[in-house]
Amino acid sequence: MGTVFPVGALLMPFRYVLIAGLICAAIIFIKRRRYQMRSDRAAGTRAPIRMVRCAFCGVHIANREAVRLPANPDQNRSERYYCSLDHAKQDQLHRD
């Protein structure tokens, strides 16, 4: 039986470095996840939902879900909001 080269003994000094590295990696991973969760929450609160009224039936809808059309084709500054494309079309028909 020949002597087996003690690989474990050779790695002994590096064991703590390896463990420290693993702990550091874990801490960085957790911190990054926490930061991501926080920024997601911040993004959610940054854009508040504004309620607008449908110009045809008067129902209230969220600004981002509303169908937006210029009140007057000549001036794009003022807009009319609708709860659906159907109401937008009907309102345009009634006004013409």
Residues in contact with Zn ion by the rule CB under 5 A: 54, 56-57, 83, 87
Residue 72 CB, nearest approach to Zn ion (Å): 19
Residue 60 CB, nearest approach to Zn ion (Å): 10
Backbone phi, psi, residue 3, to 5°: -80, 130
Cα four-point dihedral sign 35, 38, 43, 44:
positive
Distances (CA, A) of 52 to 59, 65, 70, 72: 8, 10, 14, 18
SS3 of residue 74 by DSSP: coil
Residue 93 CB, nearest approach to Zn ion (Å): 14
Instruction: Please say which residue, 87 or 89, places its beta carbon nearer to Zn ion.
Output: 87
Instruction: Please say which residue, 12 or 57, places its beta carbon nearer to Zn ion.
Output: 57
Instruction: Please say which residue, 52 or 56, places its beta carbon nearer to Zn ion.
Output: 56
Residue 51 pairs in a beta bridge with 62
